[in-house]
Amino acid sequence: MAKRVGVDKWLFGVTVLLVFIGLLMVFSASAVMAQDRYGSPYTFVRSQTVAAVLGLVAMIVVMRIDYRRFNRPIVVFPAVAITTLLLLGVFLLRDSHNTHRWIRFAGTFSFQPSEIAKPVLVLFLAWFLQDKLQSIRDWRNTLMPAALPSLVFLVLILEEPDLGTALVCAAVTGLMFYLAGAERKYFGYAVLAAAPVLYFKLFHVPWRRARMLAFLHPEADPQGSGFHTIQSLIAVGTGGIRGLGFMEGRQKLFYLPQPHTDFIFANIAEELGLIGALAIIALFVALGYRGLRAASLSKDVFARFLAFGITATILIQAFFNISVVLALVPTKGITLPFISSGGTSLFITLASVGVLLSLTREID
């Protein structure tokens, strides 16, 4: 029966725990590098803490809002429009690392629009698909209009270029269509259409081609393109079962690139060992279980789609990120949700968990 029970305490607890572990590990992974680069070991952990506090506040605020308030065109359309504008905006602004992923405000505050694109896409699809379950076979009136904003987002994110986020968006979109009951042949068409783009993006963008080849043969160029992969595996292997101990990691000392962001899981495996790595994975599994449980027990279709989409976004990112660290898939630049250093990602992920928590209020 729908009634006001509390939010899902497991989901809440697991989220807070992940964020806390994330802060510790970001500090551990970045302290030496930050000291070297900015003169203070706290540079990264400070901004990460600010994002975590703001994110947790946002989560608690959003959690108290009835999720039905988001189920309105007056919320959905501006969200899609603003996200599109922000995604376009990054092309007009200064670039960082040769990529257009960021928008900066007065030097103190910057953020990544592609992070916002993920929850907005989930919101749009949940809103659009909720009434279309009967007509999902009608591709002209259902699949096409639903796929259009997703495609616009995908193309813009792909052009930033941020292949990782684009792939996460594509996977979430596909899963939500699958959940809505779209026919299998359309997934076939989508894969066929995406294959040449993916091939082009992977093998004709020079640095990605290098990464691809590095993934296939990391030992061929250990000092160059194979560096990421090899250093990451060295970190994981060094950790062994019990790890070297918190703050004791060595790979982060300028061997492991991006030890506090994309490769933080390698640092975790090195310092906390197999036990710590499995604990992190267990927390994500617990989060996934509670999120999917919310999706299956929710009372209305919108809530189900929303819960599923938010949970899937987090799990897919965690899965890809850990796979990259373990060299199971090529390097792609996907962060580990809650843990990797990155303010926008952390804030947005926590706010989306707030939505998830809001809809667990009505589950017995």
Q: Which residues bind other proteins (CB under 8 A)?
A: 1-4, 66, 68-69, 71-72, 130-135, 296-297, 299-303, 361-362, 364
Q: For the CB of residue 226, give the shortest distance to other proteins in the complex, in Å.
A: 47
For residues 295 and 315, the answer to whether their CB atoms sit within 8 Å is no
- Between 133 and 148, whose beta carbon lies closer to other proteins? 133
C-alpha separations of 340 from 209, 238, 248, 330 in Å: 25, 21, 18, 18
Rounded Cα–Cα distance for residues 16 and 7 (Å): 14
**CB of 234 vs other proteins, minimal distance in Å:** 44
- Exposure of 298 in the CB half-sphere (CA atoms within 13 A): 27
CA geometry: angle at 78 spanning 161 and 174, to 5°?
A: 50
Q: Least separation, in Å, of the C-beta of 275 and other proteins?
A: 33
Distances (CA, A) of 139 to 1, 133, 136, 143, 177: 35, 12, 7, 5, 12
- The Cα 236–Cα 228 span in angstroms is 12
In the complex, what is the shortest distance from the CB of residue 58 to other proteins, in angstroms, rounded to a whole number? 19
Select 144 or 253, whichever has its Cβ closest to other proteins: 144
Which residue, 71 or 84, is less far from other proteins as judged by CB? 71
Rounded CA-CA distance 362/326 in Å is 39
Which CB, 305 or 319, lies closer to other proteins? 305
Residue with tokens 């009967």: 134
Query: Smallest gap, in angstroms, from Cβ of residue 5 to other proteins?
Result: 9
Contact predicate 143/128, CB 8 Å = no
Task: Output the smallest distance, CB 286 to other proteins, in A.
Answer: 19
Q: Which is nearer to other proteins, 3 or 97 (CB)?
A: 3
Nearer to other proteins, 70 or 102 (CB): 70
Shortest Cβ distance from residue 14 to other proteins (Å)?
A: 21
Instruction: Decide whether 132 or 252 has the Cβ nearer to other proteins.
Output: 132
> Which tokens is 150 given?
């997703």
Structure tokens at 354: 């707030």
Question: Least CB distance from residue 67 to other proteins, whole Å?
Answer: 9
Are the C-beta atoms of residues 260 and 26 closer than 8 Å to each other?
yes
Contact 260, 34 (CB under 8 A): no
Q: Which DSSP string corresponds to 233-251? A: HHHHHHHTTT-S-TT--ST
Q: Give the Cα separation of 268 and 247 in Å (integer).
A: 10
Whose Cβ is closer to other proteins: residue 130's or residue 323's? 130
Q: Which two tokens stand for residue 82?
A: 């603003």
Choice between 46 and 299, CB closer to other proteins: 299
Around 53, how many Cα atoms within 13 Å sit in the side-chain half-sphere?
Answer: 5
Q: In the structure encoding, which two tokens stand for residue 9, read together? A: 């305490």
Report, in Å, the least distance between residue 359 CB and other proteins: 10
